[in-house]
Amino acid sequence: MIEVRNLVHRYGDARAVDGVSLTLADGEFVVVAGPNGSGKTTLVRHFNGLSTPDEGSVLVDGHDVTDHPVTARSSVAMVFQDPRECFVAATVGADVAFGPANLGLTHDAIEERRERALRAVRMDGREDERIDELSGGEQARVAIAGALAMDPTHLVLDEPFAGLDWPAREAVLDHLQALHERGTGVVVVTHDLRDVAASADRIVVLSDGRIALDGPLDAVEDRLAEFGVRPP
């Protein structure tokens, strides 16, 4: 479970996150929506301690992420908008094995996690391929596999569909739905609800760093446009 309590994040004098409280249960599929600049990226970077609160706190499974960053990072895996930012190795297999290797697992456990993660995104058998020679959709899937290999309770993806063509979008969304069905909590950050809204248990809309709407699609749908989010 991720609990955000009265979180404030400032850049200079500007409050990019302005008093957000939010609880994300294990296994929930949540979409965080809102126009560009509404604070989505700044908010989710707090979920695993990539940013430090100016006020308030974030707890993962009851542990404050500022005090327990390693616990937070193994429970909450993050995939950034540009998957190239996530890669640390040249080939698919080496990249996906990197996270588990850093957890200090045995060689066999690392192999097992790598295989399972690559199978989940249907990239198994392609361990030796160079990441920079893959398509955008394939790179997005490798980035997701890298996060899955950490065996997280929550997977957070910031604008995972940006720059993907329609078939790649569909493939990524299918994988997210399958993960959710297997019990992983999924948080998708997007300014564009197309396709993904129907999969979500809940939609959280940010506006100027605050939560403007929070509920299932049918409860928030009529008010999305008011906060600059195009209804699906």
Q: Distance (Å, rounded) from C-alpha 175 to C-alpha 206?
A: 25
Structure tokens at 30: 């949540």
- Answer for the pair 205, 211: CB distance below 8 angstroms, yes or no: yes
Helix spans in the chain (H): 40-44, 69-75, 92-102, 107-120, 136-148, 166-181, 217-220
Q: 55-60 and 2-11 as β-strands: parallel, antiparallel, unpaired?
A: antiparallel
Q: From the list 22, 33, 39, 190, which residue makes contact with ligand ADP (rule: CB under 6 A)?
A: 39
Is 153 a binding residue for ligand ADP by CB under 6 A? The answer is no
Question: What CA–CA distance (Å, rounded) separates 69 from 88?
Answer: 20
Does 38 help bind ligand ADP (rule: CB under 6 A)?
Answer: yes
Q: How far is the CB of 232 from ligand ADP (least distance, A)?
A: 18
Residue numbers 11-70 binding Mg ion by CB under 5 A: 40-41
**Quick check: 42 binds ligand ADP (CB under 6 A)?**
yes
Residue 37 as a binder of ligand ADP (CB under 6 A): the answer is: yes
Of 32-40, 82-90, 124-132, 214-222, which segment contacts ligand ADP by CB under 6 A? 32-40
Give min distance, CB of 88 to Mg ion, in A: 22
User: Does the protein bind Mg ion through residue 190 (CB under 5 A)?
Assistant: no
Angle 216-154-3 from CA coordinates, rounded to 5°: 70
Q: For residue 215, which phi and psi values (nearest 5 degrees)?
A: 170, 180
**Taking CB under 6 A as the rule, does residue 207 contact ligand ADP?**
no
Question: From the CB of 81, what's the least distance to Mg ion, in Å?
Answer: 7
Window of 40-48, 95-103, 164-172, 214-222 that interacts with ligand ADP by CB under 6 A: 40-48
Map residue 224 onto helix, strand or coil.
coil
Q: How many residues bind ligand ADP (CB under 6 A)?
A: 10
Displacement of CA 89 from its chain's centroid (Å): 21
Residues at the site binding Mg ion, with contacts judged by CB under 5 A: 40-41
Residues at the site binding ligand ADP, with contacts judged by CB under 6 A: 11, 16, 34, 36-42
